[in-house]
Amino acid sequence: MIRQGFLSAKDHKDLIAQTRDGACPSRLTRRANALVLLDSGWSCQEIAVALLVDDDTVRRWYELFIAGGVDGLTHFDVGGSACQLGDEQLLQLKAWVIKTLPRTTREIGAYILREFGVCYESRSGLIHLLHRIGLDYRKPKIIPRKLDPQKQQEFIALYQKILNSLSTDELILFGDAVHPTHSVRPTGCWGSSEDRLAFEQTSGRQRMNIHGAIDLETGQTQILEVETVDAQSTLKLLKSIEDMYPTMARIHLFLDNARYHHAKLVQDWMKAADRRIVLHFIPAYCPHLNPIERLWRVMHENITHNRCYDKFAEFCERTLSFLREQIPKRWGHFCDSITDNFRVISPKDFRVMT
């Protein structure tokens, strides 16, 4: 926050004189105006609106003044294809950005001003400079810990082998549990620039417990709402799957390594001679190898993103209806988002930030 009253009496007088000097370049009088208004208590946002610039530009003018006084305001970014930084300075800038990973152009502009005495007045000009030296604005991805590329490759090979050898009385399902919470998930959207958008907050304390499975060939789902996701709910899901596919001789069900999927209760049930389900387990820390995780993402996109439900019962009804009815009914629309297009993720492919 910039405190008012930072100008000395002399600086204030000199800046006022610049604003009233008809022979003074307009871009300099704008800077002088901005500093006088800042000193009187205006915010950067208010000044930006008044002078038709962005608030980061106002902050850079302030930093320029702090670094060089009134005379420092006469340093301008020439813009366009020209560059005020030499080759060595550009290399230093690039190295600093790669090492520190600054989050805003304001931080980068402040570094350039501090290290090289050059002020990039235009944010777009600074972005153009960064692009020119091979820098982009990047959003880091989240990758699971302890990823094992070899185990991922082995799993993909096993899945492809099973998939390519299926007989007409076999199918593959992917299962998992999810716990959607009764709360809206705000996400970006297009709208009027005059509107300030908001949602009323719900308690966010009530949540559903869902244990389910999906067939990627047809989009058919088996969705159970349960009191608790545990060994009992796993057993209930397995029984319902066998009942759902009475003509199938073998049902390959892929699950993650949650403890309840390995529970003794489940293992004992699987030992029966007439079991038609065969369990396969996805490698640890690899949710990207379970397509049902993509189903949960699609569910949130259609149910919780920018959607608010007054009653928890309505939220439950909409969620279950979407998973049980809309997914199979509109599978042609959703199938490209819920696929078995598996890939190996290796930490070696990323610069892992700490």
pLDDT of 251 higher than 90: yes
Output the pLDDT for position 78. 46
Tens-digit pLDDT profile for residues 269-287: 999 999 999 999 999 999 9
Residues of the chain above pLDDT 70, percent: 96
Output the pLDDT for position 21. 81
Output the pLDDT for position 75. 65
Fold entry, domain 149-183+203-348 = Nucleotidyltransferase; domain 5 (3.30.420)
pLDDT of 203 higher than 70: no
Query: What is the pLDDT confidence band of residue 81, given thresholds at 50, 70 and 90?
Result: very low
Output the pLDDT for position 83. 65
Is the CB of residue 57 less than 8 Å from the CB of residue 48? yes
Query: What is the pLDDT confidence band of residue 77, given thresholds at 50, 70 and 90?
Result: low
Question: What does the alpha-carbon distance between residue 215 and residue 264 come to, in Å, rounded to a whole number?
Answer: 26
CATH 3.30.420.10: which residues of the chain?
149-183+203-348
CA atoms within 13 A on the CB side of 199: 17
Tens-digit pLDDT profile for residues 9-19: 888 888 888 88
